[in-house]
Amino acid sequence: MFGMGPWELILILIIALVIFGPSKLPEVGQALGKGLREFRRAANPVKEDIKEEVMPD
């Protein structure tokens, strides 16, 4: 996943916990998930257009 191993992910989670605190972490995670979902939704049509241009049927 993005070239990161489990130790890097654990380190990122610990840093996020220290920065945002345990009470804000669920809100931050939810906002991050929502943002990633929207990004993927917007990127899919572009990805399909590129795929059609590179490999026409």
Split at pLDDT 50, 70, 90, the class of 57 is low
Token reading at 43: 């990127």
Cα distance between residue 48 and residue 50, in whole Å: 5
Which pTM value belongs to this model?
A: 0.57
25: phi then psi, degrees, rounded to nearest 5: -60, -45
The pLDDT tens digits of the residues spanning 15-48 come to 988 998 889 888 988 998 999 999 999 999 998 9
pLDDT of 28 reads: 86
pLDDT of 11 reads: 92
User: Do residues 28 and 20 touch, judged by C-beta distance below 8 A?
Assistant: yes
Cα distance between residue 17 and residue 36, in whole Å: 20
